[in-house]
Amino acid sequence: MKTVDNTDHLMRPRDVAALLSLSLAAVYQMAGRGLLPCVKIGRCVRFRRGSIEKLIDSKEKVAYGKVA
Protein backbone atom coordinates (compact mmCIF):
# COMPACT_ATOMS: atom_id res chain seq x y z
CA MET A 1 0.00 0.00 0.00
CA LYS A 2 1.28 3.48 -0.89
CA THR A 3 1.69 5.92 1.98
CA VAL A 4 0.30 9.40 1.60
CA ASP A 5 2.82 12.22 1.89
CA ASN A 6 1.09 15.29 3.33
CA THR A 7 3.72 17.61 1.83
CA ASP A 8 2.37 16.87 -1.66
CA HIS A 9 -1.22 17.42 -0.60
CA LEU A 10 -2.88 20.09 -2.75
CA MET A 11 -4.64 22.81 -0.78
CA ARG A 12 -7.38 25.18 -1.85
CA PRO A 13 -6.85 28.93 -1.55
CA ARG A 14 -9.19 29.15 1.46
CA ASP A 15 -7.09 26.53 3.27
CA VAL A 16 -3.91 28.49 2.58
CA ALA A 17 -5.60 31.67 3.77
CA ALA A 18 -6.51 29.98 7.05
CA LEU A 19 -3.03 28.48 7.45
CA LEU A 20 -1.31 31.84 6.91
CA SER A 21 -3.98 33.96 8.64
CA LEU A 22 -4.51 35.96 5.46
CA SER A 23 -7.62 36.99 3.59
CA LEU A 24 -8.64 34.97 0.58
CA ALA A 25 -8.08 38.03 -1.62
CA ALA A 26 -4.51 38.36 -0.28
CA VAL A 27 -3.78 34.72 -1.14
CA TYR A 28 -4.99 35.21 -4.72
CA GLN A 29 -3.02 38.45 -5.07
CA MET A 30 0.17 36.91 -3.71
CA ALA A 31 -0.20 33.86 -5.95
CA GLY A 32 -0.81 36.08 -8.98
CA ARG A 33 2.33 38.10 -8.21
CA GLY A 34 4.41 34.95 -7.76
CA LEU A 35 4.89 35.41 -4.02
CA LEU A 36 3.10 32.16 -3.17
CA PRO A 37 4.01 29.05 -5.15
CA CYS A 38 0.92 27.59 -6.78
CA VAL A 39 -0.31 25.20 -9.43
CA LYS A 40 -3.01 26.24 -11.87
CA ILE A 41 -5.22 23.41 -13.10
CA GLY A 42 -7.66 24.82 -15.60
CA ARG A 43 -9.27 27.74 -13.81
CA CYS A 44 -8.47 26.35 -10.36
CA VAL A 45 -5.51 27.42 -8.26
CA ARG A 46 -4.02 24.92 -5.84
CA PHE A 47 -1.06 25.03 -3.48
CA ARG A 48 1.27 22.22 -2.43
CA ARG A 49 1.34 22.05 1.33
CA GLY A 50 5.06 21.27 1.27
CA SER A 51 5.81 24.36 -0.82
CA ILE A 52 3.85 26.58 1.55
CA GLU A 53 5.65 25.06 4.56
CA LYS A 54 9.04 25.63 2.88
CA LEU A 55 8.08 29.23 2.23
CA ILE A 56 7.16 29.69 5.89
CA ASP A 57 10.46 28.11 6.97
CA SER A 58 12.52 30.30 4.63
CA LYS A 59 10.82 33.48 5.84
CA GLU A 60 11.33 32.51 9.46
CA LYS A 61 15.04 31.86 8.98
CA VAL A 62 15.58 35.14 7.15
CA ALA A 63 13.67 37.16 9.73
CA TYR A 64 15.48 35.67 12.70
CA GLY A 65 18.81 35.69 10.89
CA LYS A 66 18.70 39.48 10.55
CA VAL A 67 17.78 40.02 14.20
CA ALA A 68 20.44 37.78 15.73
Mean pLDDT (the chain) is 87
19 domain-assigned: yes
Best CA proximity match to 7, nearest among 40, 55, 53: 53
The pTM of this model reads: 0.77
Helix, strand, coil % over all residues of the chain, rounded to 5: 55, 15, 30
Query: What integer is the mean pLDDT of 3-32?
Result: 90
The answer to whether residue 45 is domain-embedded is yes
Total domains present in the chain: 1
d(CA 56, CA 64): 12
- Can you tell me the mean pLDDT for 14-28? 97
How high is the pLDDT of residue 60?
77
- CATH number, domain with residue 45: 1.10.1660.10
